[in-house]
Amino acid sequence: MAVLEILEVPHPGLRAVAKPVAVVDDSVRKIVADMFDTMYDARGIGLAATQVAIEQRIVVIDLQETVGEGEDAKAVRTPLVYINPELISVSDETNFYSEGCLSIPEQYAEVERPAACRARWLDEQGEAHEGDFDGLLATALQHEIDHLNGVLFIDHISKLKRDMLLKKLTKMRKAA
């Protein structure tokens, strides 16, 4: 188990464009395992390799959705791996989610994105897949693919909102 350091804004590494994974081998599977350790440790639902200073196109997601109600409610882990993920198409219909990011701690903003998308990717064995995404998973996948291209969720909001959010982050860091 290895928990990696997560880069935070304004680290320039977050603006790097990651390179495609050439061969899905044990070294890639080790990165995937470390990324899950890091994401669960930070209580996140998604992580892109660029956030841990690895410039390869690797994404892990686990929405850890709650199953059951009341005392029986518990978050169930469903780890998902996307290597070299690519959007094939996106819906015209959009929706808004209050997005956060482990690289922009404790800051949230409503981001508008296509409500659904179709993507292709490789799994941990190097097998190719194609599939349709909607709901929170579509949002999470688009957010993480953005990271691989050096794009952050704050790039999707107005400059006014972005400046306010970054100011709050600076204040929070000073208080810590």
Contacting positions for Ni ion (CB under 5 A)? 101
131-136: long-range pairs with CB below 8 Å, 24+: 136/63, 136/97
* Token digits of residue 42: 């930070």
Cβ 71 to Ni ion shortest distance, Å: 32
Nearest CB to Ni ion, comparing residues 101 and 169: 101
- The count of other CB atoms within 10 Å of the CB of residue 165 is 18
* Residue in 69, 99, 130, 144 annotated catalytic: 144
Nearest CB to Ni ion, comparing residues 83 and 99: 99
Active site (annotated) includes residue 144: yes
Q: Which residue is nearest to Ni ion (CB)?
A: 101
Nearest CB to Ni ion, comparing residues 130 and 155: 155
Cβ 99 to Ni ion shortest distance, Å: 8
Distance, CA of 131 to CA of 134 (rounded, Å):
10
User: Any known ligand binding at 129?
Assistant: no
User: Any known ligand binding at 147?
Assistant: yes
Distance, CA of 67 to CA of 28 (rounded, Å):
31
Distance, CA of 8 to CA of 21 (rounded, Å):
24
- Collapsing DSSP states into helix, strand and coil, what is residue 143? helix
User: Any known ligand binding at 101?
Assistant: yes
Which residues belong to the annotated binding site for Fe cation? 101, 143, 147
Which residues belong to the annotated binding site? 101, 143, 147
Provide the annotated active-site residues: 144
